[in-house]
Amino acid sequence: MWVLAWNFQAEATYYHRQTVHHEHSANMENLLPENLLPENLLPEVVPEVLPEVSQPVNSRTFYGIMFDAGSTGTRIHIYKFIQKDPVELPVLVNEMYHAVKPGLSAYKDKPEEGGNTIRALLKVAKKTVPEHEWKQTPVVLKATAGLRLLPEEKANALLDEVREVFGESPFFVQNNSVSIMNGTNEGMPFCWYVTNISLILFYTRKTVGILDLGGGSTQITFLPKSKKTVFTAPASYIANINMFNNTLQLYTHSYLGNGLVAARLATLGALGADVFTSSCLPKKFREDWTFGGITYKVSGIPDGYAGYKLCYYEVMRVVKGIVHQPFEIKGSSIFYAFSYYFDRAVESGLIDGSRGGIVEVRDFKKRAKEVCNKMTKYRPISPFLCMDMTYITCLLKEGFGFKDNTVLQLAKKVNNVETSWALGATFDHFHNLNIH
């Protein structure tokens, strides 16, 4: 079990400068204070992983349930905490994680069926949380890009259905327990903080950036080293994150419509044709493909050319000029990459699925070329693998502007806890409830 003693308090406030200054002086290029977290933000860390946590007689156990309603699936995180002493911070001792597909947005015309997927996951929660803890265990659902891409009335119908399901459950439900997450950052400050606290600070106080690639949106968050990064970024991309009476200034943004699955639709052309064709697909491929509850007919180009170069040209239209390139992104910073970055690297054989791995951006490019030039070989894994790997390469290089030698740590979990914003958001919810 993973042990981490800390509490979380985060509130993102965004700068609203009247102008973004692209002219710069020597002062603008000055480095910000070294990107270290303040001493009082460092957790009381138990080194590495302990086999079990002893529970003092006067300690208190409590639970939190967080639903992550994404575009391609709904995930439930059930956290168990121990409060060893009233004046000490709680200890996270366990997480139960389960996921179902498709996401809630697929039920946009059948909200009752969407509600049934939540009921099924709540059964997992009832088996995990002791019955005597049900009434005081908060349950929260935060929806991300999938619901934001829907018409407002359809998204609200789904949320209302979830509220009804929550109301039937034995868990603690507040009026704001069901919501669509702020699309500006999609919880990335939470994820950034949890990642840096839970792993990096076991070894060093220096922070790392994080990249997340979902189905409907993609996110980037890091602690800037350079003042120029702050002053040349769009105003809404710089957030003040308040933690323990300290303010950290993060670069963070979520790009709605640039998630992996949404990018497929954009690459194919999305609207206006009966059949969508692409050089990124095998020539003999022709199937129905569903995203967001809508089914499309897609195919390769039967009499045309296919392969990496043509595919790269196609996906570049989805990325070039749309994704902002932070000033210091071409530096030597290390980024942790999650979700579809990890999944596609595993499927293409770039890393081992059980251990994750460290790669460079150039490795994605090299493997994308191999996959696209041997689509028949990789078709049983996924006919979209060429398109997906090429899109990831293009997003990293043409979008964010990473260099070929930028190091990426690909991970699914950090110390046995799913890497996502869910844990940080749970702590934030506890803080708002005055649960300590």
Is 104's pLDDT higher than 50? yes
Domain hosting residue 72, numbered range: 4-14+41-181+421-432
**Cβ-based neighbours of 253, under 8 Å, separated by 6 or more:** 184, 185, 219, 220, 221, 234, 236, 237, 324
Range scoring the smallest mean pLDDT among 167-171, 306-310, 427-431:
427-431
Q: Which of 186, 328, 347, 398 is catalytic?
A: 186
Whether residues 332 and 426 fall in one domain: no
Tell me the C-alpha to C-alpha distance, in Å, between residue 6 and each of 46, 72, 409.
11, 31, 24
Indicate the SS3 state at residue 188.
helix
With 0-12 CB in 10 A as exposed, 13-18 as middle and 19+ as buried, what is 322? middle
Whether residues 165 and 292 fall in one domain: no
Number of alpha carbons in the 13 Å side-chain half-sphere of residue 426: 25
CATH assignment of the domain containing 161: 3.30.420.40
Of the candidates 396, 428, 380, the residue with the CA atom closest to the CA atom of residue 218 = 396
Whether residues 311 and 428 fall in one domain: no
Whether residues 129 and 9 fall in one domain: yes
Q: Is 216 annotated in some ligand binding site?
A: yes
Of the candidates 165, 61, 79, 63, the residue with the CA atom closest to the CA atom of residue 122 = 165
Whether residues 177 and 301 fall in one domain: no
Q: Is 314 a catalytic residue?
A: no
Whether residues 314 and 367 fall in one domain: yes
Question: Which helix (H) or strand (E) is 112 found in, with range?
Answer: helix 111-128
Q: Is 218 annotated in some ligand binding site?
A: yes
Of the candidates 159, 140, 162, 138, the residue with the CA atom closest to the CA atom of residue 148 = 159
Q: Is 249 annotated in some ligand binding site?
A: no
Question: Which helix (H) or strand (E) is 248 found in, with range?
Answer: strand 246-256
| % of the chain with per-residue pLDDT over 90 | 39
- Please check whether residue 75 lies inside any domain of the structure: yes
* pLDDT reported for residue 6: 36
CATH assignment of the domain containing 397: 3.30.420.150
Q: Is 229 annotated in some ligand binding site?
A: no
Q: How many domains does the chain have?
A: 2
Whether residues 285 and 306 fall in one domain: yes
Q: Say if residues 277 and 306 touch (Cβ distance below 8 Å).
A: no
Mean pLDDT throughout 258-268?
Answer: 91
Whether residues 10 and 156 fall in one domain: yes
Is 100's pLDDT higher than 70? yes
Whether residues 292 and 349 fall in one domain: yes
Structure pTM? 0.71
- Please check whether residue 203 lies inside any domain of the structure: no
Of the candidates 215, 213, 224, the residue with the CA atom closest to the CA atom of residue 188 = 213
- Please check whether residue 161 lies inside any domain of the structure: yes
pLDDT in tens, 231-262: 999 998 998 876 545 677 889 888 988 999 99
Q: Is 409 annotated in some ligand binding site?
A: no
